[in-house]
């Protein structure tokens, strides 16, 4: 199949070769890729959780101070 898009032809060829390969190399690469994605997800989730906890603590402190201030003015 000849088209005016050579990149499309090469990607189709690569995909066909990818699905025909039977020696296990592709499986190992996919497993490593999934593992890397999981590790990055866990690291970013931990970071986001710590930021969320920090914001929540600051919000609770602000609410406590404002409540004490308002009760002190009554």
Go through the chain and tell me how many residues it has: 74
The pLDDT value recorded for residue 29 is 85
Residues 1 and 8 sit within 8 Å (Cβ to Cβ): no
Q: What is the pLDDT of residue 30?
A: 86
Query: DSSP labels for 15-66?
Result: HHHHHH--SSHHHHHHHHHHHHHHHHHHHHHHHHHHHHHHHHHHHHHHHHHH
Domain ranges of the chain: 33-74
Tens-digit pLDDT profile for residues 20-72: 666 677 778 889 999 999 999 999 999 999 999 999 999 999 999 999 998 88
Query: Above 80 in pLDDT, residue 7?
Result: no
């Amino acid at each position: 199949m000849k088209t005016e898009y050579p990149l499309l032809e090469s990607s189709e060829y690569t995909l066909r070769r990818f699905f025909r390969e039977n020696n296990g190399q592709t499986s190992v690469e996919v497993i490593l890729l999934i593992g890397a994605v999981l590790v990055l997800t866990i690291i970013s989730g931990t970071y986001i959780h710590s930021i969320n906890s920090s914001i929540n603590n600051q919000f609770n402190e602000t609410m406590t101070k404002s409540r004490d201030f308002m009760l002190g003015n009554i």
